Amino acid sequence: MTNPRQTSRKKHSSRTPASSKSQEQCPLCRIIGNEEVDQLFKLARGKGPALGFFIVATKNMKGHKHRYMVVLKDHVRDIEPGTESQAVARFFRFMIEFRVDFAIMESTHATIGDHWHRVGTDLDPTADDAKQITDTERFEVRFMKAGN
């Protein structure tokens, strides 16, 4: 999740739409209507229309039992930090329902870099991408039994 207090990150005051050609070729743009979506939601913005998001299982589970992503419906690379925080918080509430250790990752190693999304995954150390997860900016949630 982008930290809005960091000064080294470029601030994006508005969404930057991509060309229709890149939208036609974008696998994330083709999910709605072609794959089963787990959750749809909209988030209001200060100015402008609400933004639509969805949560869907990733096509490649990479050896995980739980691997999902939250995706902006529009083909846009960056969103305002406040809206991003709200989308990731909603995704957090979705992921926590599995009651397993998980991480929500920044797009450090995203294969689709021009469409805003974040991946959340269980923390299975034997998964195909376990090393890649450790090399990615992320936040982790660990469940511990009382007394540990």
C-alpha 94/C-alpha 118 separation (Å) is: 13
pLDDT at 20: 58
Is residue 107 packed enough to be buried (19+ CB in 10 Å), middle (13-18) or exposed (0-12)?
middle
Backbone φ and ψ of 25, nearest 5°: -90, -10
Total-model pTM: 0.82
* pLDDT at position 1 over 70: no
pLDDT at 6: 39
Q: What is the pLDDT of residues 76-104, one digit of tens each?
A: 999 999 999 999 999 999 999 999 999 99
Asked if 72 and 51 touch (Cβ cutoff 8 Å), the reply is: yes
Q: What is the pLDDT of residues 15-63, one digit of tens each?
A: 445 555 577 789 999 999 999 999 999 999 877 899 999 999 999 999 9
- Among residues 74, 58, 75, the alpha carbon closest in space to that of 66 is found at 58
Asked if 56 and 37 touch (Cβ cutoff 8 Å), the reply is: yes
Ordered by where they begin, the domains of the chain are 24-141 (3.30.428)
